[in-house]
């Protein structure tokens, strides 16, 4: 029999307990968020194995630090922050570059009204990866969370500690830089 996952308040109350309820809450968190976190982490690292390793570390950190969640933000914002920190720690250690998935929403750029001739989706994906990687770290972080993860500015503000107005400005500048990069590539 499939058990329904309760609301966030119930999950948090279970998570803060010191009995089997805490393990049940972690199971609910895994059921609710593992696919979304996997997709996000996979965009940042290059291999399935590394993504799974990081995801496992994320869930271990959630378990070890479960009492640190105070409810000042959404549970997913807290989990997302842990995921981001784990992925960035991994990337610093491995000195790898962030990747862009060929199935990402940005690749839909190829279906726009622009004429691409014989340019392949792989070439477009490479250009997009280059464009995103050229962004300053803060703009890249904001762009990825707004565009790929479809987070609201308020949610990103909780992750960064920034203001909604500042985030909107950074996102606008990031989009402009990506557009300029792609236009330059198309014209050469």
Q: Which of 63-67, 70-74, 148-152 has the highest mean pLDDT?
A: 63-67
Of 27, 29, 137, the C-alpha closest to 80 is 29
Does residue 100 lie in a domain region?
no
Please report the pLDDT score of residue 28 as a whole number. 92
Residues 82 and 156 in one domain: no
> 59: domain range?
8-94
The CATH number given to whatever domain includes residue 89 is: 1.10.1740.10
Does residue 89 lie in a domain region?
yes
Does residue 99 lie in a domain region?
no
Does residue 77 lie in a domain region?
yes
Does residue 83 lie in a domain region?
yes
- In this prediction the pTM is 0.56
Over residues 58-80, mean pLDDT: 88
The CATH number given to whatever domain includes residue 143 is: 1.10.10.10
Looking at the structure of the chain, the number of domains it has is 2
Please report the pLDDT score of residue 54 as a whole number. 94
Q: Tens digits of per-residue pLDDT, 51-62?
A: 999 999 999 999
Please report the pLDDT score of residue 187 as a whole number. 79
Over residues 98-103, mean pLDDT: 46
Q: Tens digits of per-residue pLDDT, 112-123?
A: 434 556 677 667
Q: Which residues of 152-177 are buried (b: 16+ CB within 10 A; e: fewer)?
A: ebebbbbbbebeeeebeebbeebeeb
Residues 137 and 173 in one domain: yes
Does residue 3 lie in a domain region?
no
């Amino acid at each position: 029999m499939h058990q329904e996952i309760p609301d966030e308040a119930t999950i948090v109350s279970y998570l803060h307990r010191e009995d089997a309820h805490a393990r049940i809450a972690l199971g609910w968190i895994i059921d609710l968020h593992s696919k979304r976190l996997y997709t996000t982490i996979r965009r940042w690292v290059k291999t399935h194995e590394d993504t799974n390793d990081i995801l496992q570390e994320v869930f271990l950190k959630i378990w070890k630090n479960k009492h640190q969640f105070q409810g000042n933000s959404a549970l997913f914002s807290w989990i997302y922050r842990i995921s981001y920190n784990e992925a960035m720690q991994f990337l610093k250690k491995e000195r790898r570059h962030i990747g862009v998935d060929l199935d990402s929403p940005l690749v839909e750029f190829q279906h726009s009204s622009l004429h691409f001739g014989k340019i392949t989706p792989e070439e477009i994906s490479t250009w997009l990866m280059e464009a995103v990687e050229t962004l300053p770290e803060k703009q890249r972080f904001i762009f990825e969370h707004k565009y790929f993860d479809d987070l609201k500015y308020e949610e990103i503000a909780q992750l960064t500690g920034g203001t909604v107005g500042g985030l909107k400005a950074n996102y606008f500048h990031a989009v402009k830089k990506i557009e300029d990069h792609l236009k330059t590539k198309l014209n050469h």
